[in-house]
Structure 1
């Protein structure tokens, strides 16, 4: 890195850097003594500023270091720029209670409209006095501007800028509104199509589900078509269900052989909390055998209305004889429907409710 004044190479031990503009200088180029630099090196490197970045009141340099020439040129430019201000303030300076030793009066020409003579008066002030005058004037202008509130609409150029910004914002807003409207319309159309497609799929699925349900019910009905359900037969630990069913057939005078009984077992209750014994499910060779058993039971009950078929007729000893019911093997849905139909028949005083071929 080179010195900003002499353009020579810099060494860290003999250089200073401005904390404002980051320009670097030899301390010799800044007219600093070796003792002063070494004694104050920490403070200088922490807060030192170059002449270009210092406050305007620092104008009284008279040294001849490499940094001094640019300083004088800068002061000369400022003095030339402020010469008109100095002439305006001459009368004010004359009235100020300044130190008279700093002002030497010689000849400055002042023309008067009512006199024919010209007097030359020369007013000379030091650079320090001139600097104080400029600072005071700038401070007064700054304080006056701070105390005076200027409406934004009266500042030159501000209304035009506001109108331009407003116009651009309206364009952007309209563009965003249009894009958002197009996006929402597109999403709405997509959602509508999707909803319609889902509705059609749901309808198809419902129809297919209903069809599957009907086929399942038909298959379930077919699988139960050869079964007979014997209800309310008391349970025993070592019971012979085949013998119980054969005793039932013997009581109703229906001839049956062991080959006609495909299977005979108890099934689980639909309502586990019910106190009724589990039903006996008997599988027969065909629907004709099933219908014969049910028909013979109904015929027996009609003949023996005072003593219909009961647990004593099937060889279940002990206790009170319990009525026994023989019916088709119904699915859960049909059983629930049958129970609801019996309740409705009781409420409406209907005489009969029966099941045939799996229908109530």
Structure 2
């Protein structure tokens, strides 16, 4: 938006003419001219009154210049011409065109005020109706908010109650877990104690129509610990945990007392020490010497202790411990001959090694 230099008010692009020299703008009414009276060519060359007043009135190139030398030495003569003062012409303002259609700013403001008043009056009813609807909606919203607030309070109270109940259930669950762990420990202990009179023979080849009782008696003869029929309460092979394994089924034998079982185990340990280069093997039980393989005699362990024993052997290989053995249903580990024995109570002990 530009400002007219005559009245210092804003002017739109179709209300003013711009000076081609100083770029100043003037309202057509301020210049007392009408836009239709100016051709496009005249508008493109138009100059404001200020710029027009600064132009030279005429060319004075034909006027003789006064010489700098004295008059007596100059070879020229001067003409003394006395000009008659031009008669002053009265300045008359250009009469405005009677066909120009102009309106004063004050009248324009009044017209605008009247038009705005009419518009506001026509829309007053519509605005009142709209505000009434908004007021009703706000009232309904306030009621809904109050309802939701009450419901939220009830939900919060119920949540606190449920939270308290959950905490109680968690505590009860923790107590039950502890009790279950204790019962499992007792059950494993009872299971292991029930095996106090049993031992296992592993890696003994299988034959058709074999007599496992005779195999146990042959064990007693080999290790120099006689075993009679009344010393054996039960003897049989057990099923494999992994059916795809090629290893022979284990023979489990239950003796008349834990003392008898311990005597057999002690005799096996003594035999292996005395025959360190030829420990207990399949040839001692009458199998083919060309297919000679070691035979192991160990205490009978519960399922959980067997898993712990396997994990202990694996951990011993990783840590390069030399000894892992079982004594009275408990598993021990030792790094070498001079180190202390470590009782493997559970898997957490293995994790700490």
TM-score range, shorter chain: 0.5 to 0.7
Match of 2:283 among 312, 318, 333: 312
Matched, 1:358 2:332: no
Partner residue of 1:117? none
Within 5 Å, give how 1:78-227 maps onto structure 2: 154-155=125-126, 158=129, 161-162=132-133, 164-166=135-137, 168-227=139-198
Runs of 4+ that moved beyond 4 A: 148-153
SS at match of 2:297: strand
Gaps of 5+ in 1: 1-147
Contact 1:245–1:314 under 8 Å retained in 2: no
Mapped partners of 1:319, 1:303: distance in 2: 23
Over 3 Å counting, the alpha-carbon distance change for 1:286 and 1:167 in structure 2 is same
Describe the shift of the 1:241–1:167 C-alpha distance in structure 2 as closer, same or farther (beyond 3 A): closer
Partners of 1:212 and 1:317 lie apart in 2 by 48
| Distance in 2 (alpha carbons) for counterparts of 1:151 and 1:260 | 120
User: Residue 239 of structure 2 corresponds to which residue in structure 1?
Assistant: 268
Corresponding residue number in structure 2 for 1:339 = 310
Residue of structure 2 equivalent to 1:102: none
Please give the secondary structure, in 2, of the residue aligned with 1:262: strand
> In structure 1, what is the Cα distance between the partners aligned to 2:207 and 2:230?
25
The 1:353–1:167 alpha-carbon spacing in structure 2 relative to 1, beyond 3 Å, is closer
* C-alpha contact 1:251 1:313 (8 A) present in aligned 2: yes
Q: Distance in 2 between matches of 1:320 and 1:242?
A: 23
SS in 1 for 2:170: helix
Does the CA contact (< 8 Å) of 2:237 and 2:252 recur in 1? Answer: yes
Answer with 154-163 or 323-332: which moved more: 154-163
Deviation at 1:266, TM superposition (A): 0.2
Q: What does the per-residue CA deviation read over 1:253-288, in whole Å, with 9 as the maximum and x for residues that have no partner?
A: 102211001111000112222211001000001111
Is residue 216–residue 227 contact of structure 2 (8 Å, CA) maintained in 1?
no
3-state SS of paired residue (1:353)? strand
1:254 matched to 2:234? The reply is: no
Partners in 2 of 1:172 and 1:315 — Cα distance?
Answer: 97
Residue by residue over 1:186-245, the C-alpha shift from the partner in whole angstroms, topping out at 9 and shown as x without a partner, is 232132123212212211221121122111101111111110101110000111111111
Further displaced range: 310-319 or 293-302: 310-319
SS state of the match for residue 200, structure 2? strand
Task: State the aligned residue count.
Answer: 213
- CA distance in structure 1 between the aligned counterparts of 2:195 and 2:265, rounded to whole angstroms: 15
1:235 corresponds, among 198, 206, 215, to 206
Q: Paired residue for 1:295?
A: 266
Contact preservation (8 Å) 2:188, 2:304: no
1:341 Cα deviation from its structure 2 partner: 1.7
Deviation, 1:318, is 6.9
Deviation at residue 319 of structure 1 after TM alignment: 4.9
SS in 2 for 1:228: strand
Question: Aligned partners of 2:302, 2:136: CA distance in 1, in Å?
Answer: 80
Alignment equivalent of 2:297, drawn from 326, 334, 349 = 326
